[in-house]
Each structure stands twice: as structure tokens, then as C-alpha cells.
Structure 1
């Protein structure tokens, strides 16, 4: 029989392999803070040539319009010195007087609105959509068998229920196993810190630390390897602490069916999808790291000689908070889109996503509303390294429609195997994390007809690219899709604003999406009469084509090399210089 200590060593060895897999693109590299705006030929980094465009194309041109970009996210630090001058301000609203001065139904919405809060406070944590759906389906189907008489609707619900039970089991097991290992790593780090009377120990302190047993010795090996791959011990230390918090929240809140504070902290009638006037004016909320980082990429002040430079120089950031630590809710997303449209946004950035839907119709109607009002939607493709042509990823541009329903009846979705090897996973906000995922073991033929089903013309889906023009150009975590992902943009080690006046490197399609949102705003500021479908067309036609093959792990978990055109519709990385030259011809 395997003893407990040996089991721990096996688990730690597994994490060592998992860490290597997830961080295959080493962070032991020094990149300019502004690399995503640089030019491949001039600077040697596969950015989007923003600086070249400002220098060669826009030097003697004056922008014709300031563009409002709505950041629908988890919160924005409105006091960050690199964002203060580029915030959208509702001039019709008198700050702090507790009155709805402009009569739009939102009291003191000075810089935007928070749809996941109330006078009682802010909702910080929420479940995954998977868990919320299981609350509904479990009482109905937990005793159902394949022999139970069911009508067609019940059969479809039962099929979905079984899939959700399997997905929940995998996610919970993966999270529990990973968290137990993170506990072991944290224990060693904290012991080393305590012995040396330091808040954060050094690598030398770790080397001098006498391990209590084989498990701690294995942990030391993992820490040293991780520090090398992350570029420094300090980065690894922070990553581990962040991961600990993430998995702690995942088990306590995201995957906990008993946790649900929505009614208490938001107080809306969640069963009413048409309800709009709820929330509060606190657009920062309890955790604004993600939304603040996204906002800086789009439009951090380019004239103040501070920190970084955003892509767009004549932009106003409208902060709309709908994303907790967990999955966003469809009702809040729909209301966030409508609020942005009604208050003048021309571009909406959405760096979030989830695997299940609750009320897609209400989101579809909001997307159609944005389309009718000439507003472009830019969405992050996700960080599961999954094929979005096969796997579900919400929200998306496809509308629930009679044609879509008819297609579903004629096409059965492939059944996944019980065993699923580990791979990068997306959290509720679209940033990188590590956990188990799903992978098909057999090739799945794609029927391109489904990609012509009714869909929005004002939508851009964005994957994440790295900094070097080699076969690792696709960020290893990024989702992809020959039909469903439109373009790629820099999303690896992106330095941008974070709360309390600080800056930090983050990566994810969450960082690639605002690069494209910033580019769209830049184009519109000089060519404001362009329609959303024209801006989309310009961005896609002007990409820097990738003419060599790139590596990625496919649905069968095989590392293969393919043309970049197999990973996205445009076959390239967005380029500001090319896009502005093309826009001039429209």
C-alpha cells in the first residue's frame, strides 16, 4: 500500500510537470513595457506597430473625435494616475449627491455603473455558471436514469445535466488536488520566511532551509524550477500566492453549491431578465486588478510620461462592473452592454467568458441593440487552449434562432471521453490559471455551415499572441478557431496599470482583447463615420499575416505545427499601421 507521504510526493511531481506544461513559454525574458505597441521589423517584437503609426501616419493629423470605450469587467481603479485623465465622466451627474440627476435610472453614475452591488455592498465572489445551473437541474434529474420516460425537452435537459455533473466532478477534483499542492508549497515558503524573519524569503534562504522530509525536499525542487521559468524568485513567489488565493476562492465560492450571496448583496429580482435599474456607482469594487489592467492597455495616458502608453490617444474609458471572481451572469452582461450603448460608447471591451449559458437570449438582444446603434463589441477568446469551433464559449456572436435550433437537431455534439488530461484553464475573468480541462481523443470533422448561422456583424473575437515571430507565436494558453476566432493580438507579458498606482505584467486573451479595442478606438477617432462592420473588416484585412507554421496542442492533446490560418479567420496579428492606412481608403 502507498503511504500518505509517498502520495504527496507523487502529487508534487505531477504539479512540477503541470507547471512546466502551463508555462511552456518562459517568462525569463525582459520585454519593453510598451512591447505590444512596437514594430516587428524596427524593434524585433511582434507588436502592432502603434508607435510607427503615430510617427509616420498621424504626426500631422488631428483626431476628429474622442471615442468612448466601455470596459465591461470586474472594476476599474479610477484614481490610477495613468487613467485619471482618460476616464469617461457623466457630466449630467452631480457626484455624491445621491440623486439621479440625469434621470437615466442610475444614481451617481459618474464614471460608469456597477451591476453587481447595492447599498449593502459589492458582490466579490460568485459561482461558476455550471454550479448555478446544477442547482436547477439536480432536483429534477438526480434520480433519473436512461430508462426514465422523458419528452424531447427533458431528454435534452437530462443530457446537459449528465454533462454538467461530469464537468463539475472534474473541476472539483482538479481544484482540490491543485490546492492541496499549493498548500504544501505555501507551507515551505512561509516556514522559510519565518525562520529568516522576513515577509518574503530569498532563493538563498530557500537553499539554506533544511527540509523536514522528502515532501518538503520535492517542494524545494519545484520552487527552484518555477523561479527559473518565471524569471525570478520574486515573480514565482507572487504567482504562487495568487494561485493560492484563486484556488481557495474556487473551492469556497466558485464550485460551492451552498454559496450564493446574489440576493443579499445585489438585491435584484434575478428571475426578471428585463430588470435594469439595480446596482451602485462603485465602479472599482473590491478587486479592480483585471479591469484596471485592461483599461490601461486601451488608453493609458500617452502624454504624462508615466508608466505605459495605451494604444489609443483620444479615448475615454467607461467603467462597467459585471464580472465577479467567478462567472459573470447573462442579465448583468446584457445590462452592461445596454448601459454602454445608451451612454455613448462606440467600442465595448469584454475580457470574460464561460463554458455555459443561463439566458443567452437576453445577451443576444443586447448585442443586437449595440449592432443597431453602431457599437463594436470586442471579446476575448479564452485561455483554455481549446478549439472554439468545437467547444462552447459564451458570450459569442451567434444568436439563438430557429435556424440554430434546427441545426442542433440535425447535428449531435461529439461525446467527450471520461479521462481528460490537464491543460491551461480560463477563470471567470479570462486570465491564465492551471487546472484540468477536456480534450477529444478522436478527430472531429467541422461542418462550416454552422458558422453561417445568424450572427452579429459588430463582433471581433480575439486570441492571444506572444512577442517573438517563431513557432511559439501563438500564446500557449490561447483559445483558437479557424472560424470562430477572428484575429490574434499581443497577450503575453503585457505590462499595464493595476490598482494603487502600480503596474504589472499579466497575460491572457483578456490582455489581447483590449489591444484590439484600443486599435478600434484609434481608427474611429480619426475616421468616426466608419460603421462597426467596416472597422471589423479593416482590422481583419490589415493584419500582419503569419506565413510560417506555429505550434499548439490540438483537441487530442498532441503538439503539432500548422499554418496560422488554421487558428483564426484572418491568419494574422492585428496591425495599427496597416489598419490606419487601409482606413484612409474607405
Structure 2
């Protein structure tokens, strides 16, 4: 779950207050274009495919790699599973790239491949019910835990609790503190958002009236129809603001603010609602982690925005002369596994999603989700070990709360319960376009021991539902950059194991010693101290290393 961060900017003599949502994940950071971009526009918008030396932006050298190292070589098929909120299977830039279960006949209502799941042609949905309904909004894990523990411990002291129950009592106190803080935070935010949104609507209406226009967009602001010096000054400032943030008009900004209001209200109404429980839609026993056969075949779900964007970063069609280019070659296929609601995912669903992907041929699994409590952690770790036995690499986003993960774990964690490092998991933080103080994305989690590497995750342009395209920001976008690199390596060097892929990807990230703002603060730190590798992944260097190792063998 992500939370918009408000930055109030007071501009010009009119005192215009604009509250721009700086979005950490799963949210549009700029409006989606109604039509695919031209190849020239896409080349600029997809900065993360560019080369740090040649193009002077902190991309991962995808274009250079295909031009210089992979030209003329034949890739082999690879399957990448996207465990997410769903994928728009009709998107023109994705539909040819989707994994297809060849042993299943679409729409016949039969379990043709005898795996216990009916019509799983494009993957599976662990948030769906047998009647076709789907979970969209869910509780946070703190809410679920508090709802379970509060009847047992409310009003009690630790001394009054039997020794055998004190661990649960301690968890109750910890969860309640976190829950109460989030209720207050969202209540305060809703009040602030509502007031600022109303102010900005009023100012936007006033500006339209004074300029005599219907729409305050970049075309109007570039040459405003007024001789008033104050209005012209303000128009110039707003024009620069829109260009820098990727918005086309003030209406687009107000739409994003309205979306932020709704997200905050939803958090209070559903995510933090102790009595809300959508799980009967699925009809399973959510506490039975051994239960495997539930869900439905709707891999898009009610809101496939996040998963569609993630999928495009990994493998949007590179040869259809349309829209954008994914990182992976066009023989890579994307398996959709829906397990992430708007709220916190359940460990049971994550474990089953990992198992489904491993059993159906995925070599790489992208996991752009996370939370800070994991009551069924053992089940997820068992699934991760199972995936390791099948040779599957897992790529996980580090999270968007600017937390130091060396001090506070986010789940799935990079270590097992026994403290052992998970060998087939890469944890990814988010970096930005420019090699300056903002190189580490302000929202990104970090950690010298718990985060492996950084990858581009700020203002990432990719596919969106309905044939659209747009920018999203978050470690949710950084993880699929790494998954795309892993898929490319596996496709051109099929002999590589999951351990090999991880080793090469981490080795490609050369330490970068730029002084950057530590995420969430103004403190300057060495970028190399924010992860174990100290750098940003790079496909060119990873392919070079793979070629060198192959030549030696």
C-alpha cells in the first residue's frame, strides 16, 4: 500500500497553493497519454533504458546492450511471472507477450491440464471467487492482526497474561501502536487534503476566469492571454512546474489530488476498518496455508493498473513498432498471477502464487509488493525454498517508506527466519534519473545489508490499462527493471542458474559514491552505503560478465 506525500508549493503574488502528490508506488505520477507515444517520444520517456556514459542519465544501458553485445544473437524463450494486482491482457503492447498455458483450453469450464484450477490460460487469480467476483480493497496486515488479538488482550496488562501468551500480547501492543498511528495519520491527512484540494479548485477556477480560458494547460501557460505582469509571472512558474512534473494541465493535478483524497478515505474505510472482511468473496479458509485450490481465472481483476505497468517494464513488445519497449527480448513471456489487493497481500496467497509460478515454468518471479508484518511468514519461506529447488529467481521491491531495512524488516524479507540469507532473492531499491543529490529516490527504502541493489524507479514510463501509457514511481518499478535484466540474461545465456543470475546482476552494479540525500531526510550520505552492492544494476556490464564467464568455460 502506498501513501501520497504532499508538497505544498506557494507560487507567485496570487499565493496559489498547489499540493502535488509525490507518489511512491501503484499511483500515476503523471497523466496517462490517450494514445501510444511515437518511437521518438518513447525513446526519451524511457530514460531508464539509456546509458550513464553515453546519455548522461542513470539508466541501465538496455539500448546499448542490444546494439553492441546482443545484435545478431538468438534469444531463447523464458517465462517471467508477475505476482501483482493483475495485468490488462488486452493491451496491444502486452497481449503477444503473455504466457499461455498450452495445456489448458480457454473458456471451456474444464481443468484440462488436471492441476486443480479451471481455465488458467493466462495464469491464476488467488483473490477471486468461484462466482467470478474479485477482492479489490483489503485490510492492512496490522488491522487483521489487531482484529484477531484485541478480543484476547484488550484491557489486560502483561503481568496478567499467562507466560505462554506473552509473545502474542507483545505483538498485540506493537500492532495496536502501529494501527493507532496510521488511523491518526490518515485522519489528519484526509482533513488536510480536503482543505488544500478545495483551495486549489478555487484558485484554478479563478485563474481560468482571469485568463478567459477553459483549460489551464501548458499551451495556455506558455503564452498566457493577459498583459497583467503578476498573472504572466505566475503562468511562467506554473508552466515550468507542469513541465518538470509531467502534468499537462492544472486539471490533471487536481485529478491526482482527488485520487489522493479517495485513497486516503479508502484507507480509513477499508484498510484500517477492523470489521471489514472481503475474504468470503474467495470462499477459502484464509488461515489454512496448506489450501491450494481456490481463486478464479480472472488475471486482470478490477484494477490492473499496477501490474500492467510492471509487466510493460519487463517485457512490453519490442518488435511491434508500437508504444514502448520492454527490457526483455520478444521471446520472453509474462505469466500473470494475481495475489496483491489494494491493501496488504496475504501470506497464504503470496506462497501459493510463488508455487504456481514455479510449477508452471517461470524462471523469474517479480514481486512488487511488501508489508511490515507477516503472520504466516513460514509458509512464504517454504514456497521460496520450493522455488529455489526449481531454479527460480525472485526479485522483490524494497518498499516505499524511506525506511532503513537494516533496522526494520519488510516482508518477504531477504533473510529466512533462521537468519540465513535467501539465496534466490534480490531486494531492490529505487534510483532516479540524474546523478546528483536526488539519485536515491526520496521514497525508497534502503539498507547496507538488507537491500541488494538499486535500479531506476522514479518517473518510469510504461504500459497502463486500456491501451494507455504513463509514469509511475516506486520500488515497484525498480524491481521489474531487475526482472527484465534477469530475463534477458537467462534468454541469451540459458545455462545460467538462479544463483548465477543473482551473482551477475549484483556484480553489474558498480559502487557509486555520489553524495545523496538519504531517503526521507536532508542528510547527505554516500549512495554506496544504501545497499550491499552500493550501485545501480547495469545490463551491459552483466552481459559482458556472462560472456566472459562463458568464454572461460
The normalised TM-score by structure 1 is: 0.80
2:275 aligned with 1:244: no
Please name the residue that 2:167 is paired with. Answer: 156
Bigger Cα displacement from structure 2, 563-572 vs 127-136: 563-572
Measured in 2, the distance between the counterparts of 1:94 and 1:377 equals 29
Deviation at 1:455, TM superposition (A): 3.0
> Which digits, 9 at most, give the CA deviation of each residue in 1:130-161, with x for residues without a partner?
0000011101111212432431x422222221
Please name the residue that 1:295 is paired with. Answer: 311
Please name the residue that 2:47 is paired with. Answer: 35
For the residue of structure 2 that corresponds to 1:545, the secondary structure is: coil
**Structure 1 residues 23 and 101, CA gap change in structure 2 (3 angstroms):** closer
**Structure 1 residues 278 and 193, CA gap change in structure 2 (3 angstroms):** farther
Report if the CA contact (8 A) 2:137-2:271 is conserved.
Answer: yes
Measured in 2, the distance between the counterparts of 1:539 and 1:14 equals 39
Deviation at 1:549, TM superposition (A): 2.2
Please name the residue that 2:33 is paired with. Answer: none
2:148 aligned with 1:182: no
2:245 aligned with 1:230: yes
> Which digits, 9 at most, give the CA deviation of each residue in 1:238-280, with x for residues without a partner?
32122122112111110111111102x1001112110111000
Measured in 2, the distance between the counterparts of 1:18 and 1:190 equals 10
2:541 aligned with 1:527: no
Measured in 2, the distance between the counterparts of 1:199 and 1:513 equals 43
> Which digits, 9 at most, give the CA deviation of each residue in 1:196-248, with x for residues without a partner?
8999953789x99xxxxxxxxxxxxx999986863542442232122122112
> Which digits, 9 at most, give the CA deviation of each residue in 1:462-485, with x for residues without a partner?
000000111211011100000000
Of 313, 319, 322, 1:306 maps to 322
Bigger Cα displacement from structure 2, 72-81 vs 528-537: 528-537
Provide the aligned length of Structure 1 versus Structure 2. 502
> Which digits, 9 at most, give the CA deviation of each residue in 1:165-217, with x for residues without a partner?
11111111111111122223444566678898999953789x99xxxxxxxxx
2:420 aligned with 1:454: yes
2:543 aligned with 1:580: yes
2:518 aligned with 1:552: yes
2:243 aligned with 1:277: no
Report if the CA contact (8 A) 1:193-1:201 is conserved.
Answer: no
Report if the CA contact (8 A) 1:114-1:321 is conserved.
Answer: yes
Report if the CA contact (8 A) 1:378-1:459 is conserved.
Answer: yes
The normalised TM-score by structure 2 is: 0.85
**Structure 1 residues 255 and 23, CA gap change in structure 2 (3 angstroms):** closer
> Which digits, 9 at most, give the CA deviation of each residue in 1:349-380, with x for residues without a partner?
00000011120011010000001110000000
> Which digits, 9 at most, give the CA deviation of each residue in 1:65-98, with x for residues without a partner?
2110000000000000000110000111110010
Deviation at 1:582, TM superposition (A): 0.3
Please name the residue that 2:68 is paired with. Answer: 56
Please name the residue that 2:34 is paired with. Answer: none
Of 562, 578, 582, 2:525 maps to 562
* Structure 2 gaps, min length 5: 1-5, 11-16, 31-40, 226-236
Q: How does 1:419-498 map to 2 (within 5 A)?
A: 453-498=419-464
Report if the CA contact (8 A) 1:523-1:580 is conserved.
Answer: yes
* Structure 1 gaps, min length 5: 1-11, 209-221, 402-452
Deviation at 1:456, TM superposition (A): 1.8
Measured in 1, the distance between the counterparts of 2:448 and 2:415 equals 15
2:414 aligned with 1:393: no
